Amino acid sequence: MSHLKIRPSGSHGRVTRVTPQSAGWTYVGFELHRLQAGESVSAPTEDREACLVFVTGKGQVTADGQALGELGQRMSPFEGKPWSVYVPQGSGWSVTATTDLELAVCTAPGLGGGLPVRVIGPDALGQEIRGKGSNVRHVTNILPETEPADSLLVVEVITPAGNTSSYPPHKHDQDDLPHESYLEETYYHRLNPPQGFGFQRVYTDDRSLDEAMAIEDGDVVLVPRGYHPCATCHGYDLYYLNVMAGPKRSWKFHNAAEHEWLLKA
């Protein structure tokens, strides 16, 4: 199995964990918790900021000592927009599930910005359709660069069955603003129905990195550098949750030159 693909370690509790140390990079952290009603999870943020994304289910949330009430709504990542919570560095959070709950914890370095805790409700989220034909995908911006955070960029994408996504291939692995930004990235994948599969390739121009992976429900793919397109098979919609962070909070990407003609087709 590719060193870039992380399978869930079970079906209950913390089933996925990516740290800068485990990934061999500097910025992005990601965890996925699956809880039953009445179970809780909590953590200090220390020197990192966090974005809690309710992938499915509901829970009672406390962050930085503030009781935020019951959040969450959808019972499938393919149904509607998510609820999320931004939690700054130097604080902490806890969530107690009130239904079966899948909670994503996205983290990156805090920069001492002194930002407050905030609930990010579905009604506040921008949504767009990108691409055309068999390259259409539906994008929900949870924590884009136009919204306050120190390092984190968080977005959800749903790709209809048989379509490509993150395509034409693009990369963001050079700290060369305003032309391109350096951003590490994780992809948390889900399939509908869940027995489906798709594919993702992570590769560089010189092919010093070139990994092609079959992706299944619950897999996480690490993108330390290079292009990273993915595709789903006929009959199976693909959801993914992206977490990105780097030295500057800006998403500027470079398309693979040999495939740029697709943007004009």
Residue 166 lies in a domain: yes
Q: Please, which pLDDT band fits residue 205 given cuts at 50, 70 and 90? A: very high
The CATH number of the domain holding residue 142 is: 2.60.120.10
Tell me how far apart the alpha carbons of residues 112 and 206 are, in angstroms, rounded to a whole number. Answer: 38
Tell me how far apart the alpha carbons of residues 90 and 82 are, in angstroms, rounded to a whole number. Answer: 25
Q: pLDDT tens digits, residue range 97-111?
A: 999 999 999 999 999
Contacts of residue 50, Cβ cutoff 8 Å, sequence gap at least 6: 43, 86, 87, 93, 105, 106, 107, 152
Look at residue 112 in the predicted model and tell me its pLDDT.
86
Look at residue 160 in the predicted model and tell me its pLDDT.
98
Residue 2 lies in a domain: no
Residue 91 lies in a domain: yes
Look at residue 233 in the predicted model and tell me its pLDDT.
97
Q: Say if residue 196's pLDDT is above 70.
A: yes
Look at residue 265 in the predicted model and tell me its pLDDT.
78
Tell me how far apart the alpha carbons of residues 159 and 20 are, in angstroms, rounded to a whole number. Answer: 28
| Residue of higher predicted confidence among 33 and 263 | 33
CA atoms within 13 A of residue 157's CA, in its CB half-sphere: 26
Q: What rounded mean pLDDT belongs to the chain?
A: 97
Look at residue 12 in the predicted model and tell me its pLDDT.
96
Q: Please name the residue ranges forming H helices in the chain.
A: 20-23
Range of the domain at 219: 10-263
Asked if 23 and 222 count as a contact pair (C-beta separation under 8 A), the reply is: yes
Q: Say if residue 264's pLDDT is above 90.
A: no
Q: Say if residue 152's pLDDT is above 80.
A: yes
* Mean pLDDT on 181-194: 98
Residue 4 lies in a domain: no
Residue 3 lies in a domain: no
* Mean pLDDT on 115-128: 95
Query: Which residue type is seen at 48?
Result: R
* Mean pLDDT on 155-176: 97
The residue behind tokens 């740029």 is: 260
Q: Kindly give the pairing relationship between strand 101-109 and strand 118-120.
A: unpaired
Q: pLDDT tens digits, residue range 52-101?
A: 999 999 999 999 999 999 999 999 999 999 999 999 999 999 999 999 99
Nearest alpha-carbon partner for 140 in 5, 47, 241? 241
Handedness of CA 90, 49, 123, 190 (dihedral sign): negative
Residue 126 lies in a domain: yes
Q: How far is CA 60 from CA 69, 106, 109, in A?
A: 5, 18, 25
Q: How far is CA 5 from CA 143, 189, 194, 214, in A?
A: 24, 11, 18, 9
* Mean pLDDT on 124-129: 93
Q: Please, which pLDDT band fits residue 1 given cuts at 50, 70 and 90? A: low
* Mean pLDDT on 119-138: 95
Q: What is the DSSP string of 26-45?
A: SS-EEEEEEE-TT-EEEEE-
Residue 21 lies in a domain: yes
Residue 101 lies in a domain: yes
What is residue 205's DSSP assignment?
A: T
CB atoms within 10 A of CB 116: 12
Number of domains in the chain: 1
Is the bond preceding residue 178 a cis peptide, omega within 30 degrees? Answer: yes
